Amino acid sequence: MDYSIIEKILKQENIKYTTITKSNTGFTNQVFFIDDKYVIKLCGEHTKPKKLENEIAFYNNVKLDCIPKYIADGNVGNTRYLIIEKLKGHSLFNIWHTLDNTTRNNIVVKICDILNQFHSCDYRYLSSQLIDDNWLEIMYRRFDKNIDVLSKRGFDTQFMLDFKQHQSENIFTQQKMCLIYNDAHFDNFIYNDGEVKLIDFDRVKYASIDYELLIIKQMLDNPMKFAGEEDEPNVKMADYDGIYETIKKLCPDMFNFKCIDDRVFVYQFLYNLGNAYEYDRNNWIEEEIAKFKNHFNL
């Protein structure tokens, strides 16, 4: 593989190295490991530059002990890059099946502490376009967008119009806006010698705090979909029992909403619709709509 762009970055940053290895993961950006010390992220060929910019902005403005150390960011020609410390350890998906229940519980406690710290971080470094303090209006816009997409695909959208007009205000008026991580699945938590750290911050956003539960619930409902290919054979649903209840106990602010179960159900519904659009699977869309109608008696 041609590593010339990585070599130019390392020369520009005056970083000495022995080996360069391309990661097999990294869905948003191209990721490279430099010896066992650094990670370099480049904007991927098929991804939006704003994802990497979002992560660079996070590292330049948010200080937490549970994240990799920031090293540098810059440009080589038209290529934007970020360099961070390479953490020691393994993703939780990689080792979860090897851990006893006591260790697992201790890890979930640490995850809750990390998320609570995260939600207390100052969000004001985000550009003003990314800060909207009206969660109900944000949800209205998401409904409108999906109504438009579904209509163009030939689906009857009256059910969603009815939900938006008659139920959504009661469900989504309550809010607690803050900075959320927005990607809390086990591939993004690194475990080493009793410590847990967090990686990958390109999805960080300003939202109602309970929106953090979307990815958590998606992962716990179907951990196989979030595990790397090499970890899939070791994923067993029973190993993830009780995690949601522990999070509910230790992160009460995320659950302190009168319609929390309905809210998370809607977040998952819209998330799954988005994936179904991406993969052009009308049968999946039909399944999601049926579950939504049943849940809300539409």
pLDDT (tens digit, 9 = 90+) per residue, 167-203?
A: 999 999 999 999 999 999 999 999 999 999 999 999 9
- Three-state SS across 79-110? EEEEEEECCCCEEHHHHHHHCCHHHHHHHHHH
Separation CA 70–CA 204 (nearest Å): 16
Question: How confident is the model over 96-145, as pLDDT tens digits?
Answer: 999 999 999 999 999 999 999 999 999 999 999 999 999 999 999 999 99
> In the chain, which segments carry CATH 3.90.1200.10?
90-296
> In the chain, which segments carry CATH 3.30.200.20?
4-85
Residue 28 predicted with pLDDT over 90: no
Separation CA 226–CA 216 (nearest Å): 10
Fold held by 4-85: Phosphorylase Kinase; domain 1 (3.30.200)
Residue 29 predicted with pLDDT over 80: no
pLDDT in the model for residue 45: 65
Question: How confident is the model over 224-257, as pLDDT tens digits?
Answer: 999 988 999 999 999 999 999 999 999 999 999 9
**b/e 211-226 (16+ beta carbons within 10 angstroms → b):** bbbbbbbbbbeebeeb
- Of all residues in the chain, the percent with pLDDT exceeding 90 is 92
The three-point CA angle 86-232-214 to 5° equals 75
Q: Which CATH number applies to 90-296? A: 3.90.1200.10
Residue 48 predicted with pLDDT over 90: no
Question: How confident is the model over 201-227, as pLDDT tens digits?
Answer: 999 999 999 999 999 999 999 999 999
Do 206 and 177 touch, CB atoms closer than 8 A? yes
Q: Is the dihedral of CA 251, 173, 204, 147 positive or negative?
A: positive
**Residue 44: pLDDT band with limits 50, 70, 90:** low
pLDDT in the model for residue 27: 58
- Among 116, 130, 125, CA closest to 59: 125
Task: Report the pLDDT averaged over residues 81-103.
Answer: 97
